[in-house]
Amino acid sequence: MSFFRTILKYMECFTGLDIVAMHTMLINKPPDSGKKTSSHPLHQDLHYFPIKPSNNIVGAWTAMEHIDRNNGCLCVLPGSHKGDLKLHAYPKWEGGVNIMFYGIQDYDENCPRVHLVMEKGDTVFFHPLLIHGSGWNRTQGYRKAISCHFAGADCHYIDVKGTSQEVTERDISRIAKKLYGIPDDTSLQDMLRFRVRLVKGKRINL
């Protein structure tokens, strides 16, 4: 509980006092088969969320064990959160790419990169426009981390039709239909609305 309260204290700096959780994942990166498909392309998390303003959204990524470049640590491009949401698509990698592992199509490849070596319990907070990804897992074990995204409850949904985020809507809709029988014409906003949970304060727009 004390760990959650500490996280919440930092959340409020980004979201304000009314906070909702949008998306939570236990990431269990498997040992790579040799095709490097365990890598996550450089991307911006806002691509997955039909929400604005971006400055009221924050990701919290917590290591559950020692994580370094050997087992696929995070790689970030410092300062990239000051830009706009870029065009995303599936990268044309020789070994293939996992579903919903979209990558940015246009970024400065000479931009400095920082690899985040983390210990168990370390948490990094980042803006949803920060360009980041993770390397492939060269070890024989699974690399474990928890990723959570939070937003101010007064943020609002946007329509993603005609944008690069439409591919996210399409893929999530297919998965939701397969797993839960949700109609395949359900909007990304409605699917996210179903998943959003109030964390603190009151639920306003989201």
159-201, pLDDT tens digit by residue?
999 998 999 999 998 888 888 888 878 888 998 988 899 999 9
CA-based max dimension of the chain: 47
The mean pLDDT value of the chain amounts to 92
Please compute the mean of the pLDDT values over residues 95-104 and round it to a whole number.
Answer: 86
Q: Which domains does the chain have, with CATH numbers?
A: 2-200 (2.60.120.620)
Per-residue pLDDT for 120 more than 90? yes
Task: State how beta strands 132-134 and 74-76 pair.
Answer: antiparallel
Please compute the mean of the pLDDT values over residues 124-147 and round it to a whole number.
Answer: 96
Q: Which residues of 56-78 are buried (b: 16+ CB within 10 A; e: fewer)?
A: bbbbbbbbbeebbeebbbbbbbe
Q: What is the pLDDT of residues 23-67, one digit of tens each?
A: 999 999 999 988 888 899 999 999 999 999 999 999 999 999 999
Rounded to whole angstroms, how far apart are CA atoms 144 and 130? 21
Share of the chain above pLDDT 90, in %: 70
pLDDT of residue 106: 81
Q: What is the pTM of this model?
A: 0.93
Angle at 101 between CA 27 and CA 136, to 5 degrees: 60
Please compute the mean of the pLDDT values over residues 74-84 and round it to a whole number.
Answer: 94
Rounded to whole angstroms, how far apart are CA atoms 105 and 42? 9
Rounded to whole angstroms, how far apart are CA atoms 129 and 46? 6
At 155, the pLDDT band (50, 70, 90 cuts) reads: very high
pLDDT of residue 205: 94
pLDDT of residue 36: 80
At 1, the pLDDT band (50, 70, 90 cuts) reads: low
At 4, the pLDDT band (50, 70, 90 cuts) reads: confident
Please compute the mean of the pLDDT values over residues 197-206 and round it to a whole number.
Answer: 94
pLDDT of residue 29: 95
Please compute the mean of the pLDDT values over residues 104-112 and round it to a whole number.
Answer: 83
